[in-house]
Chain A
Amino acid sequence: MTLLPRRSARLAVGLGALVALGAPLPAGAALSASVADLTLPALAYSHQPRTVTGSLTLTARDTGSCLLLVCSNDGWHVTIQSSSFAYSGTNGGSAIPAANFAVIQANAPTRISGDAISAQGGPRVPANNSTGSLDVARETLEAADGYGMGEYRQVLDVSLAVPGQARAGTYRATLTVTISAGP
């Protein structure tokens, strides 16, 4: 692999992308996704297993692939996947499996900027696989070819099943949020 010199700008940037998304300097299609505002209730020690619920906000962005003043895109998909919740503390606790963390509701997205949301091409909640345990990748948002050029938000309702007698301490997981383009 060869790394060419860094570039701070490229001429072939679409005006649409410049206006819509605050003039990003890299030329390419910016597909990015992240989550924020995850809230789960604080937990107290309990002998009984419990399920706590919360929500997180997913943001997906696509500036499209731009040539001169024309931008286009091939659609995209957003998946999220969690690791297990590793235990750290002094009470000899054990990890909470990733399968205990689940998306229980993927809500309809809202547009922040860019293309309007289309009933036909999205961005939209996929017909299947948007809910379920996060030990596997779950697709919660998608845009079809030619749709979803802009910035969109989606609220995901999540739950965490906490085993009974889960020891006091910290439980930490890594959530991998992937936005992808492919066949």
Chain B
Amino acid sequence: MTRRTRTRLGASALVAAMSLTATLPVLAADGARLGLTPVGQDGTYFELTLEPGETRGLEVEAANFGDADVLARTYAADVYTIVNGGFGADLFGEEPTGTTTWLSYPTEEMTLGRRDAQIISFEVRVPDGTPPGEYVAALVIENVEPIRGSGSVAVDQVNRSAIAVAIDVPGPRRPALRMGAVGHHVAGERSVVTFEIENPGNVHLKPAGSFRLLDPGRSELSSAELAMDSVYAGTSTVLEAPLADLLPAGDYCAELRLSDPETGVTAAIECRPFSVTPPAADPGDRGSGSRNLPLRLPSTDALLAAAPVSLLVALGFGLLAAALILAARRRRRERDRGRRAPPAAGHDRIGS
């Protein structure tokens, strides 16, 4: 091994060690601080009571509470019920439907200076013939340009502030709650039992109740009290019951009882069966057979990242080569010494 080679390998080892041990800060220290506030009303979101055919003019303040100018985008979005209940607003680009189309709130981009605000006026019109019930849409403000993350696994960031436009159309209330299929998936190396939940009525619900997991012999494996946040009228979602560990493959059944304390509506399922299948082989894990070798060579990054292994192998070869060279030199020296030295018999003769 030459001196130059050793230097190169030393540098490679340094780079490889850095790439393996560094942690990557991939998000900005602080995100965009944008907010929407109803103007001329109490509260942090709109709560309206409107008859079918009625129109109401509203104002909202779009503000930047941060210390830097922000190119902001505001838009109206459908509201959905998130997993386990709660307020979810559709992401930008999704087509507005239903209640959202009652709002004359077109998408707008604006540059908001630090601690600056704009007032946006819009109208809500409840269509003629709208049935009674509780309806909801969302107004959203967010940074147009995601805050860029860095690193080989990078996470950009969009900061949103969303407020509800909750509309009550007077008339009879018809609360209802339904449950559907039971399922299972794995998240974060834990089993999660899932239940389909539907609110087909015209009242928002906040159901709570109990969950039991049973084996095929109906012995209880797990149980928990569960409480959902808002399940909005006319929406469906999923209730998740995360378990402490992974469930072994096999057959199980799950029970769920939920009731909404405000309306008194209840729903239950008894020992609904589901199966846990063995984990599928990772599609990227193609084994060691020759047919399953990667089709492409690893890139330089991958080679650099794998440098410690390569280094060990190279060092091993180097040491072996050095040992062979030293052994060869020793043999040569011994041969040379053998040629220069007097015959052993002469010694014998002198000493004798």
Contact = CB atoms under 8 A, between A and B. Distances in A.
B25 A44 contact: no
A36 B163 contact: no
B323 interface: no
Given A168-B298, A170-B154, A131 B24 contact: no
A157 to B, nearest CB: 9
Contacts, number: 330
Interface in B150-182: 151-164, 166
A47 to B, nearest CB: 7
A76 B44 contact: yes
A51 B118 CA distance: 45
A113 interface: no
A48 B288 CA distance: 11
B68 interface: no
Contact of A164 (B87, B122, B190, B282): B282
Contacts of B23: 39-42, 54
Contact of A49 (B87, B185, B239, B284): B284
B24 A42 contact: yes
B24 to A, nearest CB: 6
Given A26-B64, A103-B188, A178 B105 contact: no
Contacts of A176: 91, 142, 157-158, 160
Interface in A126-183: 126-129, 131-133, 136-139, 142, 159-160, 163-183
B129 interface: no
B164 A27 contact: no
A7 B119 contact: yes
Given A29-B44, A165-B285, A180-B163, A6 B116 contact: yes
Contacts of B140: 178
B116 to A, nearest CB: 6
B285 A47 contact: yes
A59 B305 CA distance: 34
Contacts of A37: 25, 27, 29
B116 A25 contact: yes
Nearest to B166: A183
B82 A137 contact: yes
A10 to B, nearest CB: 8
Given A32-B34, A129-B84, A181-B45, A170 B152 contact: yes
A25 B117 contact: yes
Nearest to A33: B159
Nearest to B103: A1
B88 A79 contact: yes
A49 B65 contact: no
Nearest to B59: A4
Interface string B82-94: 1111111101000
B196 interface: no
29 contacts: A2-B121, A8-B116, A24-B115, A28-B36, A31-B44, A31-B163, A34-B157, A36-B29, A36-B31, A38-B26, A42-B19, A42-B22, A42-B24, A49-B285, A65-B44, A76-B44, A104-B188, A104-B189, A127-B226, A128-B227, A142-B229, A170-B152, A174-B156, A175-B155, A175-B158, A178-B89, A182-B138, A183-B134, A183-B230
Interface of A: 1-4, 6-8, 10, 21, 24-45, 47-49, 51, 54, 56, 59, 61, 63-65, 72-74, 76-77, 79, 81-82, 85, 89-92, 99, 102-104, 126-129, 131-133, 136-139, 142, 159-160, 163-183
Closest 7 CB pairs of A and B: A28-B37, A34-B31, A182-B164, A26-B63, A129-B84, A44-B305, A45-B302
